[in-house]
Amino acid sequence: MIQMTKKKIFLAVFLLVMIGAVGFFLWRISSLTIIIPISQKIQTGRNNSLNNNSGSVSASANRSGVATSGEKKVAVSATDFMSPLPRASERVTKKPFGIFITPATSPVSPERFQGYHTGADFEIFPEELNAEVPVSAICDGKLLLKEYAIGYGGVAVEGCTLEGNPVTVVYGHLKLSSITAKVGDKLSPGEKLGILGKNKSAETDGERKHLHLGIHKGTSINILGYVQSKNSLSAWIDPCLYVCGK
C-alpha cells in the first residue's frame, strides 16, 4: 500500500515537472515569435530612413547639377545633341577645334586667317561639291542671329543649353537665303537649318564649301572663327565632343 502511494507521488511530481517544462518551452517560443518581427520592423525602418535620406540628397544634387557618389551624370549631348551633317566624324579632316593656323602652315590654300580655330570645320565629300547639302540644327534652342559676315558669308547663331549651361552655336558658310527660320524661332535637334553656300562664292565669302561649327560658352553672341591665345580658346567648346560620334 505504501509502495503504491510512493509510485503515485512520483508520477504526480513527474507530471508536474513535465507540464512545467512544456509550459516554459511554449513560453520561450511565443516570446521568440514576438521578438523576431519587432527586430525586423526596427531594421526595416532604419533602412527606409536611410533610403529616404539618400533619395533626398540625390534629388537635391540633381537639381543643383552636381552628381553625388554612385550617381552618373548624363550629359545633355548624349541624348539631345545631333550631328549637323551625316557622317560627321569623317568630315573633320582639315581644321579641327583648337588647331593653330597660319598662312604658312594651314592645310587650306590660300589661307586668309591666323590663330587658334574656335570651331571644327566639316568638309564636303567630292560628290557634294555641286549638290545642295542640308545643315541641321544640333540642339534644341532659339535662332538668335542670321546675317552676312566677313569670313563666313551666311552665318547663323542658335542659343542652346549644354550640360545645364547656356551656349551659343555658330553655323558658318551657309546660304543665307536658305535659312527660312526667323530670329526668335525655336529650332529642334535634327531640324533643317539651311544649306551650305556654294564653293568660293559670296555665299561663303570666297571660302571653300564647308561648315564651320562653333560652340561658345555663355549667352553672348560671338562668331569669331579664330582667337589669338589659348586662354581665349577656353571660352569655346570642341563640337566634336558632342556631335562627331553621331
Query: Is 0.75 topped by the overall pTM?
Result: no
Q: What is the pLDDT of residues 68-118, one digit of tens each?
A: 333 333 444 445 899 999 999 999 999 999 999 999 999 999 999 999 999
Residue located via cell numbers 527586430: 39
- CA-CA distance, 162 to 216, in Å (whole number)? 11
Q: What is the pLDDT of residues 114-160, one digit of tens each?
A: 999 999 999 999 999 999 999 999 999 999 999 999 999 999 999 99
- Among 221, 140, 145, which residue's Cα sits nearest to residue 181? 145
Element holding 2 (H helix, E strand) = helix 2-64
- CA-CA distance, 129 to 173, in Å (whole number)? 14
| 194 within 8 A of 209, measured Cβ to Cβ | no
- Among 38, 239, 104, which residue's Cα sits nearest to residue 158? 239
- SS3 of 52, please? helix
